[in-house]
Structure 1
Amino acid sequence: MSYVNPTEFVVKMIDAGTAKIFMSTHDILIRAFMAGAILALSAAFAVTITVQTGEPLAGAILFPVGFCLLYLMGFDLLTGVFTLAPLALIDKRKGVTAAGVLRNWWLVFIGNFAGAFMVAAMMAIIFTFGFSEPPNEVGQKIGHIGEGRTLGYAAHGAAGMLTLFIRAVLCNWMVSTGVVAAMMSTSVSGKVIGMWMPIMLFFYMGFEHSIVNMFLFPSGLMLGGKFSMMDYFIWNEIPTVVGNLVGGLTFVGLTLYSTHGRKRAEPPQQGNGLIDVAGVPAE
């Protein structure tokens, strides 16, 4: 059977988080750079499809191709390490410290931003023929996305900031579910199917993903978007990063660990012989 039950894949989550914390700076930066670049290309792909077809669902259905590819190649997104790395600390893995978790997060952020920014510059060149003419239709769309998701939030003040934060929480609830879903199967097809569904959901719903935004907003500024870099950081990137952390760790990492991770070392309960959905004796 290719299905991995929750008690087993939670151990995989903790193991993965531990490995990421002890990874060398060189490896973290390369893997994060490639993850940011691939996800940025996928975002450009999805926006292009949406503009050319006039159907946002078409873009959302195909956007997960980038996420699946980067995961299968072992690259790292900030949204994923937000969920996995703290579990190694909570599980008291040997040598894991809070400083090690923060180091991993910071290096992944830098790598993701560098990769996404590189693709943002490349796509801006493509959309404007090397900045020799106004951006094409797709480039204009990206510029408008940047305006709506910075100044649009700012126009609503505190309510806008709350909306942005909640969208970021919901985003990484789904994205981290996709990361974990890939651990539920030992087959490539099973991993891809598991990842595809929640990633498609987050993109179509317009939730805020910090790494996707590392592409959309710098690219939008290069393409004539009417907002500033400060608007981007204050009214999108920083609140999105915080919301992504809360969503992934709270609704995925901690919930799975609290109900499946802590119980993996406990002896089976002798009771009525019923079996629960995870395949262990019911309590």
Structure 2
Amino acid sequence: MDSPAVIAHRGYAGVAPENTIAAAETAAAHDETTMLEIDVQPAACGTPVVIHDERLEGTDTRDGRPLTDTTGLVWETPLGEIQTARVLGTDETVPTLAQLLEAIPETVGVNVELKNPGTTDLRFGESLSADDRDDRREVWTPFVERVIDDCATFDGELLFSSFCEGALAALREIAPRYAAAALVWDDLEAGLEIARRYDCEAIHPPRNAISGTPLADTEYAGFGADEPKIDILEEAHAEGRTVNVWTATNWRQFEALESAGVDGIVADYPELGTYSSAR
């Protein structure tokens, strides 16, 4: 069995301040790292910045810490203020997408998650009607154009993913040459519909959505502790799609997903596959 690709979640958020240049450099320094996963949103001027939550202080604390020492909605905050915001009590700051891409070697791929175009109305995780698709594509288009512009000089592998159908619709219209992935939240059928609609090269389900694993009996990412009704691994592979699963936080989860035959594992820590019996 081939080992799954290891995708560093926010730059291995378990060992470095997430979505920072330090995290990206840490992830790239590990030989096992196939790809770096990051999140992008616009600053007030539209410049793509690398940050996960819609608020600078975070919508949830990380072990009691705010995400940064600055507050406010990301897309309402001037770029200069965002760039000086320190992440998780460290001296690391929020980078622009362009700055982060310049800091990593092109031997490491980048999974750019299109997180938010600058709105609280995201239509998150939904499979949309035709009219709604057009509307949401228009909402996302200006931001996706800025992201694509910033990625133009990066010669490494790029994969764009999103929980929002509008983002994928905009990507396919603006830059169909790039690989796309539908991120799945609480509805496997919707995720597959979106992946099929945009002929996505990949689909990214949560770790408990993989049938036949111990993880399927746990609550996570909007799914209850029940065996999935759809074998998303079988369905996606039958359609020629890569299945990258998020997020492994320990070696036992990694082992279960590797044994199931997933193609990639988004991980919070490096070297989680060290003790896997599937190797």
Normalising by the residue count of structure 2, what TM-score does the alignment of the two structures yield?
Answer: 0.23
Structure with greater contact order relative to length (CA < 8 Å, sep ≥ 6): 1
Higher strand share: 2
TM-score by length of 1: 0.23
- From the two aligned structures, give the one with the greater helix fraction: 1
